Amino acid sequence: MLKKIITAILLLGFSLFGAYYYFSYHYGVKNYETATADFTTTSEGLKAEFVKNETAATQKYQSKAMIVNGKITSIVGSTISFDGVDCIFTLAEKSLKIGDKVSLKGRLVGYDSLLEIVNIDQCSVVK
């Protein structure tokens, strides 16, 4: 009897985890390259909001399409960095160079308070 209960609980747990995974990563996937931006800001302004109040900034920007304007300070693989903001591209963007002033659109993923870096993924260059 105990084996049946444990088996039922494990099956329920795996089913719930599977449903969570599916809906979190596959349901309603948005194309942020063509999406209308919910916010437009500078890299310095965005980082300052997170440093001032991480919880409020996370609630405001989490999973929203946004345009970030700034000067490129670093390019490593498919990640382009402003001062305190990392934009992760699906594929490496070959047309940009360190020092370029650009506008990038993407989805806010989160904030690393230890390194004080805002992370944005699904980035594209705004033309």
CATH of the domain at 111: 2.40.50.140
Kindly state whether residues 23 and 47 are assigned to the same domain. Answer: no
Positive/negative CA dihedral, 77, 82, 85, 88 = negative
Can you give the pLDDT at residue 3? 87
The single residue listed with the structure tokens 């437009």 is 40
Kindly state whether residues 66 and 119 are assigned to the same domain. Answer: yes
Residue from 99, 122, 105 nearest 68 by CA: 105
- Average pLDDT score over residue span 83-102: 88
Q: Give the tens place of pLDDT for each residue, 8-65.
A: 898 888 888 877 777 666 555 677 778 888 899 999 999 999 999 999 999 999 888 9
**Angstrom distance (rounded) from CA 93 to CA 82:** 15
Q: Which domain holds residue 26?
A: 1-30
For residues 92 and 108, which has the higher predicted lDDT (pLDDT)?
108
120 confidence band (pLDDT: 50, 70, 90) = very high
Q: Give the tens place of pLDDT for each residue, 96-119.
A: 899 999 999 999 988 988 889 999
Residue from 63, 62, 51 nearest 112 by CA: 51
Query: In total, how many domains does the chain have?
Result: 2
